[in-house]
Amino acid sequence: MSFGNVIRKLRREAEMTQEELAELLAISPQAVSRWETEAAMPDISLLPRLANIFNVSADELLEINVAKNEEKIEEFLKNAKRALHHGDFQKSAEILGEAHSMFPRSYKIMYELANSLLCVYSRQGKKEYDDVIALCKNLLNNCTDNTLRYEAMETLGLAYHYAGKDEEMIKLSEQMTPFAYSKERFMMWRWGFDSETLAKRQGYLSDLLHELLYTLLLIPNSKKYSREETIQIWKQIIDITEIMFPDGDYQVFAQIAATTCDCIARKYLQNGEKEECLYWFERACDYILYLDTYDTNPINTAPAPHTSLALNGAKGSRWIKENGRTMSEEYLKAWHEGKEMEKIREEARFKSIIERLKEHAVKT
């Protein structure tokens, strides 16, 4: 309902004429008439007086139901998140685009829309990210929520990178908080030892482990390391993963483990070392099948908490499917069709790996 219709409705419910309302506000009856016909809006200073006259809040007067709007916003976000976890980035962006048109000042929606559009464009190989950049800048210029601002800065940095604007990306990165001064690092020694602070430390440990493993994966890309040293560093990733999750409770950490095993196997394949190559492809296959089966909770509920010792009871996590495909489908395509696999394609162990992936991909 428009503002004019709200005023007319409230005035009539109060059995008041336009002249009587005008007298109470010390304005002309014509001014009230112009409000009700949408020809004009009252001065903002009159809103509190109007609210008092009709015994309503300013939000009700402007037909803003904050609680109800928040419910609608959360529903949009939940639906978008569900689409995102199924790998349907386009649908997520469409849901959030509709939400943004309804709630253009919601910074939560603004950020999630920018992030979803980034996922869509990057997978399409686009170089134009103007709308993503505009959304992030709008948020950074107006939002006071620090967490949303940090998230928006990361999305903005990625948009600059994908758009080929690395100078802008580097300039932006200089505004980000250095790792050494993060909140978690500062509070690690200052938190207490109750259940709430345990959860915070476990969350910090999970983030640190994630960064450690991916950093180890990237370090050997430097020309400084030999083939043997590269393999040795990558094997350390698997060693650390198994030390942290001796009960096999890897959750999303199985994704980097699978990637690492695949990298190791390919290094051995390049050198014609079939036995080592097949062993690491088998290890990769184990992690892949785990990823596709560990999370049995419905998508609209939280994944099961961790059970491994250091992270016991910590919030669980789930990986995002790429275009709705399982990890088995992704690797099946890469391994079954890859030309470099010709050297081992007829090996019985490799055929067994492919069959395991096929069986699970079909079931899924």
The answer to whether residues 215 and 294 belong to one domain is: yes
- Torsion over CA of 320, 324, 328 and 332, rounded to 10 degrees? -130
pLDDT at 300: 64
The answer to whether residues 40 and 73 belong to one domain is: no
The answer to whether residues 128 and 156 belong to one domain is: yes
- CATH number for the domain spanning 15: value is 1.10.260.40
pLDDT in tens, the chain (364 residues): 577 888 888 888 888 999 999 999 989 999 999 888 888 888 878 888 888 888 877 777 776 655 678 889 999 999 999 898 888 999 999 999 999 998 888 999 999 999 999 999 999 999 999 999 999 999 999 888 999 999 999 999 999 999 999 999 999 999 999 999 999 999 999 999 999 999 999 999 999 999 999 999 999 998 899 999 999 999 999 999 999 999 999 999 999 999 999 999 999 999 999 999 999 999 999 999 999 998 877 766 778 999 999 999 998 888 777 767 889 999 999 998 888 899 999 999 999 999 999 988 865 4
The answer to whether residues 76 and 57 belong to one domain is: no
pLDDT at 51: 85
The answer to whether residues 207 and 261 belong to one domain is: yes
244 vs 68: CA distance, rounded Å:
44
pLDDT at 138: 94
The answer to whether residues 161 and 286 belong to one domain is: no
Structure tokens at 129: 């990210």
pLDDT at 301: 74
The answer to whether residues 158 and 268 belong to one domain is: no
The answer to whether residues 225 and 79 belong to one domain is: no
pLDDT at 44: 79
Which residue range forms the structural domain that includes residue 341? 185-363
The answer to whether residues 347 and 204 belong to one domain is: yes
Domain stop point among 150, 176, 202? 176
- Torsion over CA of 328, 331, 333 and 334, rounded to 10 degrees? 180
- Domain total in the chain: 3
DSSP category for residue 308:
S
pLDDT at 18: 93
pLDDT at 338: 83
pLDDT at 38: 83
Domain stop point among 61, 84, 108? 61
The answer to whether residues 81 and 39 belong to one domain is: no
Which residue has tokens 């999750």? 245
Domain stop point among 46, 61, 76? 61
pLDDT at 84: 87
pLDDT at 1: 58
pLDDT at 299: 65
DSSP category for residue 317:
-
pLDDT at 65: 59
The answer to whether residues 70 and 53 belong to one domain is: no
- CATH number for the domain spanning 144: value is 1.25.40.10
pLDDT at 295: 82
The answer to whether residues 97 and 235 belong to one domain is: no
Helix, strand, coil % (nearest 5) of the chain? 70, 0, 30
Question: Could you tell me the pTM of the whole model?
Answer: 0.78
335 vs 343: CA distance, rounded Å:
12
pLDDT at 236: 98
